[in-house]
Structure 1
Amino acid sequence: MEEKTIEISMELIGISGEAKGIAFLALKNAKSGCIVKAEELAIKAKSKLNEAHRLHAQIISREAQGESWDIKTLFIHSQDHFSNALVILELLDYIIDLYKGKK
């Protein structure tokens, strides 16, 4: 089970990190006035984060069905990446709207 925990942790870190990277690229485009590109990147970042959501849901579902997990520091670290990506993506649309001049 430890190998599976490591595999899932690394996948969650990678997906979440990619979503964050795309989100920051969207913010950079918004700041530069490239709003359409920023909005396209925001959609891409959200799509990527949905992959992390599906993986996270699998973990929760398996545990709810009685499967136990080796909770290691790496797994906790992956949860941090996932949580940070969630927060960044929550704020992304608001920040893009600020650059568009919406209130």
Structure 2
Amino acid sequence: MEEAKYENAMQIILHAGDAKSSALMAVDAAAEGDFAAAEDHLRESQEEMHAAHETQLSLIQGEASGQHVEVNVILVHAQDHLTMAIMASDLAERMVEMYRRMAKLEAGA
């Protein structure tokens, strides 16, 4: 197996997985009322997402410049991870805001 062929896919999987984990930790922190930690986790999630996107962009730019990118199961799996990480991150941001609003309502009750 040519390791170089799978390196970009594995980098996308790594960073997307870390992005998703950080997003879920943000929701957990917000549920506990720790909004500073939630914001830190959201920031980490975005940083990991950016790293995954950079790797994906390098593949896209390479393909656009004529370098063939072999589509294999690992690359498809990597794209799936990135898609799920994006969804988790988007939902986590909304859920943190929801928990923040709930905390304000409970404090005023």
Q: TM-score by structure 1 length?
A: 0.91
Q: How many residues end up aligned between the 2 structures?
A: 101
Residue segments in structure 1 that go unaligned for 5+ positions in a row: none
CA-based RMSD of the aligned residues comes to: 1.3
For the pair shown, the structure with the greater C-alpha radius of gyration is 2
User: Cα offset for 1:51?
Assistant: 0.4
Equivalence for 2:105: none
Residue segments in structure 2 that go unaligned for 5+ positions in a row: 103-109
Equivalence for 1:25: 25
Aligned letter for 2:41?
A: L
Q: Which runs of 4+ in 1 moved over 2 A?
A: 2-5
Equivalence for 1:95: 95
Aligned letter for 1:62?
A: G
Does structure 1 residue 71 correspond to structure 2 residue 71?
A: yes
State how far apart, in whole Å, the 1-side matches of 2:97 and 2:83 are: 23
State how far apart, in whole Å, the 1-side matches of 2:55 and 2:39 are: 25
Q: Share of identical aligned residues, percent?
A: 27
CA contact (8 A) 1:20 1:85 kept: yes
Q: TM-score by structure 2 length?
A: 0.87
